[in-house]
Every structure is written in structure tokens, then in C-alpha cells.
Structure 1
Amino acid sequence: MTNALARLLEIVPAPSEPRQKDWREVERSLGVGLPADYKELVRVYGGSNWDDYLYVLEPGCPNENYDLVEWAERQAEDLEDLWEFERKPAELQVEGARVIPWATTDNGECLYWLARPGLEPDRWTVMVNEARGDRWEHFSVSCTQFLASSLDGALQSDILSSVFPRAAHELRRLGAV
């Protein structure tokens, strides 16, 4: 267990039923490996809503609106179209760099891993894109560290809502619609 996940468990206790995934199949579908901390986050919390705002995507999520693989496919297409009109963030101007979504918000912001050529998934960092705009933020932390640090107030985004996080944290596992 990573230090970030241990911290997250202190902040918000885990649901009782862990979720198991066939990660080889998920990674084959995505064409890329995924960070170990994310796999552990999904095993412990599953696709989940945090403080009634941030949604962690899950491959094969019971709520199909938050399926990681589908989000990755849609976002890749949408961003390719967007780059025709907007300038890519500097972090993505490196040949072969790309972003892969791992969370979204109820306002439409998207949280991504920044995947760079030759960089192992466990070293990926987080990028946040505002909902209907071209602002991006880069955070040199893992997705689990980003979530834990956001919830305990150690990390703040200028893009995410000012009402996140809440003083009393809420976790809701995503179920079937």
C-alpha cells in the first residue's frame, strides 16, 4: 500500500467490499499500463464520488457513465479535435506525450495522467483541465497523492471548485444507473 493510499484511508474509510479487475485486459484495451496506485485505489474504493464533486473513473464501472476505458477513448478523440484550435499545454508538446483521464468532476473538469514516452506509469503525474476553457494545471504527484492531498487541504487547484473539498468528507461508490 502506498503512503498516499494509507493517508486516503485515514481521511475516508474504505467501503467493505473490494473491487477486483482484470488489469491485463484493461491495459490491453487502453494500449498502455496503468499506475499501481490507481489500481489499488480502484480495488479499495472502486469508481467513486468524493465530496459530491469528484468522480474517480473505473474500468467496467457499474455506472457506465464513469467507465475509464470509454472515457479514455472519447477524451483522446476530443483532445485531438481541440488541438486543431487551441494550443497544447507545454507538457504535451513533447513528442509522444499524452494525457489519459482518471477522474472528472460534476462541473466537467477532467483530471488526467500525464504519460510521457519512456516514463513508467508509476511515475506519471496529474494534469487538470478546466471544463469549458483552455486552462491546464500540472501537479507533480500521483493520482492517489493528488486525491489525498486535495482532501486534506495540502494541495489546491485553481481550476477545481472552491467548495471542494468539503469539511466533512463524503464518499459514494458508483453503482448501476
Structure 2
Amino acid sequence: MPRANLSPDTVIHAARDLVDAGGADALSMSALARRLGVRTASLYGHVRDLGALRGAVQALILDELADAVDTAIDARTGPAALEALADAQREYAFARPARWSLIQQPVSPDERTTAAASRMASHLLDVVDAYGISAGQRVHAVRFVSGALAGSLALEAADAFAHRNESTDASWRHTIAALDRALDTWPSELPA
């Protein structure tokens, strides 16, 4: 029987805190049980398994990120919305690197349709749609933007740009400007 002071929310928030303390790879049922001062078996009354726990923590983090993006974008569209979305992700990634790392990891097929993931996808689609990209090209444009931002953030977090004196902030601005130009000139169809 689960302990009275545990709930699914308590368990998920404690798991997120465990990720903050030890990184994305620190998340395990046994480590979480130790953190909460319970036996591992007690957790299974609140979460199905490690995969479900990981998915729930990712959903919690995606909700936090979507809130930050909501605030940043506000009523902006076009290039201003793209910049706000990119900057909000960058700020979150550097303020919460372990959380950012966890949401970069694959999720189970069931977790891809969570409300949190849908909120983030909606932001990306709204940004892309403001550029008038055709319905058949939307998914490719969203993947392009997501990949460029995530790749740039991963390289910066790994200090891959540290060997040069030029500002990574300036490089970030160039990345956003290049994304804007690419989206503005996105072809309606690409050859197969």
C-alpha cells in the first residue's frame, strides 16, 4: 500500500528534482526511492514503471518550457515570434541544463501525444505558419527549426565553440537570422 504522504505529483516532482541534482541519467526508481525515503516498491503505487516516470517528468518539464515560450512569444508573429521562441528555449536550456537534457532524449510513442508535447509543437507550428509555408512542408520546416536550435544549443553547452573568441551570443543571433531567411524563402515543394 502506498505511503500516505506520497502522490503521483509528489513522486514526479521529486524525480524532476533528482534530475536537477544528478543529471538526466541519475533518474532511476531506486535513486528516487532513496530520495523520498521509501522502498522502491512503494513507488509503483504511483507510477507504472521507469518509462512512465521518465515520460511524466518530461511532460512536466515540457509544460514548464511551454509556459516560458508562451510568455516570451505573447502576441508576436513572424521573425519576432521565432526569436522569442528560440531565446526562451536557450534561456531554459542554460538555466536548467539537466532538465533540458532529459527532454532531448527519446520518449515512448505514448508520450509523444501528451498535452505538454502538443503545446510545444503548437508553438513551433504557429511560428512556421506565420511564414506561409505550405501544409505539405510544415513538418519539414518544424524539424529544421527544431534541429537547428537544439543542435546549436547542444554544441554551445558542450563548449564546442570555446576555441574561438567570437561571442556565442552573436552566433546565436546569426542562427536565428539564418532561420528567418530560410523560412521566408522556404519552397512550396521539394523534389522527392
TM-score, normalised by the number of residues in structure 2: 0.26
Structure (1 or 2) with the greater helix fraction: 2
TM-score, normalised by the number of residues in structure 1: 0.28
